[in-house]
Amino acid sequence: FGMLAGAALYAEVHPWFKANVLAQWDLGKATFVTTTGLSPWWFIAALVVGALAAFRAISNYERKLGLV
């Protein structure tokens, strides 16, 4: 019964909440590039470096456990 009551309440309140609350926080399409002003290539490079570091750490951990 509680789930049905919560769903009904949500269905009634959502249009008002969307128009009055969520509209105030709408920033449009916000991305790391638009908010920081940096080139997207910096983020791509950071992801590549992070992935390589993670692969290296996992490989070292597997070697330490003797799984390789």
Q: pTM for this structure?
A: 0.55
CA distances from 17 to 23, 37, 48 (A): 9, 31, 40
What tens digit of pLDDT does each residue of 15-60 get?
A: 999 998 888 877 788 888 988 999 999 999 999 999 999 999 999 9
- Residue 68 scores a pLDDT above 80: no
| Residue 63's pLDDT band (cuts 50, 70, 90) | very high
